Structure 1
Amino acid sequence: MAAVAVLSLLATWEGTGGATATAAPAATASQAAGACGVQAPGASAAAEAAVRAACEQIGVWYTWGGGHGPQPGPTYGQVDPSDPDSAHDPERLGFDCSGLVRYAYARALGGDPLPGNAHHQFHSPHTNERFTAAQGTGPLLPGDLLAWGSAGSVHHIAIYLGAGKMVEARESGTRITVSDVRLGGDYAGAARIAPATTPGTFSTWGADVWTHEEPSTGSPRVHRFPGPTSVRVECQKHAETVTADGYTNDAWSYLPEYGSWITNIYIKGAAWLDGVPTCP
């Protein structure tokens, strides 16, 4: 409810655990799978493919940190230091919430378009439309990503099926299942994933890289990228000169999904990014 060694420290991996079995009872998995699928018209072919890929995992264990290996797919989990119920997750092959989303959209779109944790996925540059919590499920289509938490800290993510239903990896001790959409509590809204790469998309590199309120290392930190993450760059400008990891650069990029700046040192590409306009 997202590389693994780094992401395992994030609070976006959550759950409570229980039994130690490694395979879903056949009857339970079969019954649940019957309820999983595209429940409404209007979604893109890619979104419908993501739904189908997620539904194929019905009955697979939730496991904290699962699905965050080098390639999308189920992995053994880890113990969440804050959750004693995750004690058996290292014995379970499966997914956490963002691991399932990563896998489903990798199957649908190819490559690895949604790496990272729930927060990174909800703010992905591959998003082409957003919906507030107040809008409910009315404007949603199958394949949309549902998020819980806040704009600054999304801690759970699921895939909408239509008709008020979603498929999710919820918490330790449970298996991937179909649930009613939970609109109360800290439901934060939904995002729709574009079927193709959004212009201006780049990848960060390095571990524990921070963005800042202003194009300056002295300004307050805003968001931490634990590992390589796809980001959309709106514009870039010359500002404070930074030296890090053997590179020196005075170029900074503005990331609109995060409302903050990152030195171009940690964006894969030329020192001054090709095709990105200069900020006013």
Structure 2
Amino acid sequence: MVSRTARTRTFIRTLIALLAVALWVPPALSSTAQAAPAAAPAADCRALAPGASAAAERAIAAACAEVAAGTWYTWGGGHGAQPGATYGQVDPTDPASEHDPERRGFDCSGLVRYAYAQAAGSDILNGVASQQYYTHRAAARFTAAQGLAPLLPGDLLAYGTEQDLHHIALYLGAGRMVEARQSGTKLMVSDVRLGNGYFGAVRVNTGQVTGHVHQTWGNGVWTKAEPGLSARRVYAFPYSTTIRVHCQKHAEWVSAEGYENDVWSYLPDYRAWVTNIYIKGPAWLEGVPDCNQSPPSP
């Protein structure tokens, strides 16, 4: 007959063995666990270089808050009556957009519109990517050939061609940008894609606009590289657009929309000309100098 003491010792030995099995980790797994790195931090979405204006800092903060919230890209998102996320639409050229109508979010220009509306306190960049790049609120412009060296956080990076600017993003500095990139993804921080359709950048003036500001009328009105109908096309106003006029001059005679005029205006934001027929106001704009006295910059 087994004694009570022997049974107790057997129980204790069994308990110790079970604990050893439960706590034992194979050597390979143990070393792997000890060497595993910490979870990767969330994307560093903030101004990554000095020099940004207070308004640009606010625009970046607004965009980065949407990144942190996990907001979706949605085609057409952010173009409601007021700046802010909206349900998207199906892009007929992109099968990945099938769920965009079910998601509240932004497309590229919708995000830029929202960010700068938060920064300025008013809807100063309402429009698509090309309208935002060619904004009359430009404080400075930069070509693709200049690279990133002259840019500051908050500048807008545009992609495409002068006739088709299709993407825009917000520069963070240090070669990084925040963007609404494409359907099926969320807003993100990315490396700036130079040499991949990069067109140039614009610095936004959120304060008072200087220069002679006018309004166009009509749809699909082309600006031209020279003041003439046969000159190379630069950009077509999709609808009535606010423009900044540098000067005007008499050039090729134009008949359109029941009007006739030989006056053309130079638009510094487009580096292009437009017939004054499509600028609201008299045939010769009041207060705008003659280009012979105030020639356009090269």
TM-score computed with the length of structure 1 as normaliser: 0.77
Deviations, residues 213-235 of structure 1 (Å, cap 9, x unaligned): 44455655442111233322121
Alignment of 1:112-127 (within 5 A): 112-127=123-138
In structure 2, C-alpha distance between the alignment counterparts of 1:126 and 1:42, rounded to whole Å: 19
Q: Which structure's relative contact order is higher, taking Cα pairs within 8 Å and 6+ residues apart?
A: 1
Letter in 2 for 1:256: P
SS in 1 for 2:55: helix
Pick the aligned partner of 1:54 from 56, 63, 66.
Answer: 63
> Runs of 5+ in structure 2 lacking a partner?
1-40, 293-298
In structure 1, C-alpha distance between the alignment counterparts of 2:167 and 2:62, rounded to whole Å: 19
In structure 2, C-alpha distance between the alignment counterparts of 1:192 and 1:106, rounded to whole Å: 15
Letter in 2 for 1:36: C
SS in 1 for 2:112: helix
In structure 2, C-alpha distance between the alignment counterparts of 1:78 and 1:195, rounded to whole Å: 30
Query: Of Structure 1 and Structure 2, which has the larger fraction of its residues in helix?
Result: 2
Pick the aligned partner of 1:258 from 254, 270, 275.
Answer: 270
The answer to whether structure 1 residue 228 and structure 2 residue 228 are counterparts is no
Alignment of 1:94-243 (within 5 A): 94-196=105-207, 197-217=209-229, 221-239=233-251, 240-243=253-256
The answer to whether the 8 Å contact 1:242/1:263 transfers is no
- Structure with bigger gyration radius: 2
| Worse-matched range after superposition: 69-78 or 217-226 | 217-226
Give how far 1:51 is off: 1.0
The answer to whether the 8 Å contact 1:116/1:229 transfers is no
**How many pairs were matched up?**
248
Give how far 1:241 is off: 4.7
User: Which residue does 1:278 correspond to in 2?
Assistant: 290
Question: How many percent identity over aligned positions?
Answer: 62
SS in 2 for 1:156: strand
Two-structure CA RMSD over aligned residues (Å): 2.6
In structure 2, C-alpha distance between the alignment counterparts of 1:194 and 1:60, rounded to whole Å: 27
In structure 2, C-alpha distance between the alignment counterparts of 1:41 and 1:127, rounded to whole Å: 20
TM-score computed with the length of structure 2 as normaliser: 0.73
Letter in 1 for 2:176: K
User: Which residue does 2:84 correspond to in 1?
Assistant: 73
Deviations, residues 259-280 of structure 1 (Å, cap 9, x unaligned): 3322334334454333311222
Give how far 1:66 is off: 1.7
In structure 1, C-alpha distance between the alignment counterparts of 2:149 and 2:264, rounded to whole Å: 39
Give how far 1:103 is off: 1.6
In structure 1, C-alpha distance between the alignment counterparts of 2:250 and 2:149, rounded to whole Å: 44
In structure 2, C-alpha distance between the alignment counterparts of 1:80 and 1:230, rounded to whole Å: 28
The answer to whether the 8 Å contact 2:163/2:236 transfers is no
In structure 1, C-alpha distance between the alignment counterparts of 2:283 and 2:103, rounded to whole Å: 43
Give how far 1:212 is off: 3.4
SS in 1 for 2:48: coil
Letter in 2 for 1:188: F
Deviations, residues 5-62 of structure 1 (Å, cap 9, x unaligned): xxxxxxxxxxxxxxxxxxxxxxxxxx75x73222222111111111112122222111
Change (3 A) 1:90 1:270: farther
